[in-house]
Amino acid sequence: MLSSVLLATSLVANVPNGTATVVETDYRTPNATTYNPDRALLFAHFANAAYCSSSSIASWDCAPCKAADPNFQPKVFQAKGMQSFVGRAPGNDIVVSFRGSDNIKNWIDNLDFHKTKEYPKCNGCRVHAGFYDAWLAVKADVVAEVTRLHEADVSAKIFVTGHSLGAAVATHCAAELGASSHSLGFPIAGVYTYGQPRVGNAHFAAFYNTGTRVSWRVTHWRDIVPHLPPDALGFHHTSTEIFYTEDQQKYTVCDNSGEDRHCSDQFMVDSSVDDHLSYVGIPIADC
């Protein structure tokens, strides 16, 4: 198992209709399609670890590393300013994680909303060019390592995670690896992103939402980044959003539109970088 934090307990979550649902916390349940806050906390630690130095990731001795799983065995990949790691945990589960920008405020200030390109896997799909280029920079290494680890144990589950820019790259990674059409057909057990920007247009979101992967796009209150690039420019979020309250004590499982007006989109103008740097109760981009 990836971490002892995932115990055989249950939690109560707020859902859109105001009723409560029981969320089982065994992350290894096959085809688990219920959002699990303990699992989200686990992968937030893995997303946070991607911000650490390559040497501390390789030796797996950083604080977020130990919080995620002290026995994880990663390989680190860097190219054109992008950093990622792929590794195997006890039980042979595979985790892929991507780092966000090393200067998030500057990255937000300088994000070019109009820089898009065609996405080759589906008709009519366009994606933000910067996010896609960041994925292409590490794609060959990441795919090769996932392939190697999965061939060593074809029963291994694959999890993909990232925060901010890393969340956008994680989305591209999951689209590349997953079992949908024009993808590589790997069994993606879960995708957990935090503070994810809009990656592409509605055609891309529809393409991403096909297939068998379970994907959770976690947002926090007035985090500015999920509002970027603006939907007015043709961008559209992937689903399913999990929207946390300001104190992060409650969350809403949003609808599958990607743009649920009861969730992050309820705020017309958001400007909080602080909310972007705190997810599921832990500081992110903090290593």
Chain segment 75-86, per-residue pLDDT in tens: 999 999 999 999
Number of domains into which the chain is organized: 1
Q: How far is CA 111 from CA 70, 108, 142, 143, 167, in A?
A: 35, 5, 25, 27, 15
Q: Quick check: 256 and 244 in contact, CB under 8 A?
A: no
Mean pLDDT of 103-126: 94
Average of pLDDT values for 117-141? 97
Residues 260-281 as b or e (16 or more Cβ within 10 Å = b): beebbbeeeebebeebbbbbbe
Is residue 277, in this structure, part of any structural domain at all? yes
119 domain-assigned:
yes
User: Which domain CATH number covers 239?
Assistant: 3.40.50.1820
| Residue 207 and residue 31 in contact, taking contact as beta carbons nearer than 8 Å | no
Q: Compute CA distances 15 → 35, 250, 283, whole Å.
A: 11, 9, 25
DSSP state of 272: B
187 domain residue, yes or no: yes
Which of 172, 167, 256, 270 has its CA nearest to residue 218?
167
Which range of residues forms the domain containing residue 137? 37-283
Note whether residue 9 is domain-resident: no
Residue 21 in any domain: the answer is no
Looking at residue 179, what DSSP letter applies? Answer: S
Task: Tell whether 94 is covered by a domain.
Answer: yes
* Stretch 194-219: mean pLDDT: 93
Q: Which two tokens stand for residue 278?
A: 């705190």
Residue 263 has pLDDT above 50, yes or no: yes
> What pLDDT is recorded for position 270?
66
Mean pLDDT of the chain: 88
Q: Is the pLDDT score of 4 beyond 80?
A: no
Predicted pLDDT of residue 284: 97
Residue 267 contacts residue 230 (beta carbons within 8 Å): no
pTM: 0.89
* Strands across the sheet containing 94-98: 73-79, 82-88, 94-98, 158-163, 188-194, 215-220, 241-244, 251-253
Domain assignment present for residue 165? The answer is yes
User: Residue 5: is its pLDDT beyond 70?
Assistant: no
Predicted confidence band of residue 248 (pLDDT cuts 50, 70, 90): very high
- Domain contains 44: yes
Residues 118/123/127/130 CA torsion (nearest 10 deg): -40
Residue 117 has pLDDT above 70, yes or no: yes
pLDDT tens per residue, range 11-42: 334 334 332 233 333 333 333 478 999 999 99
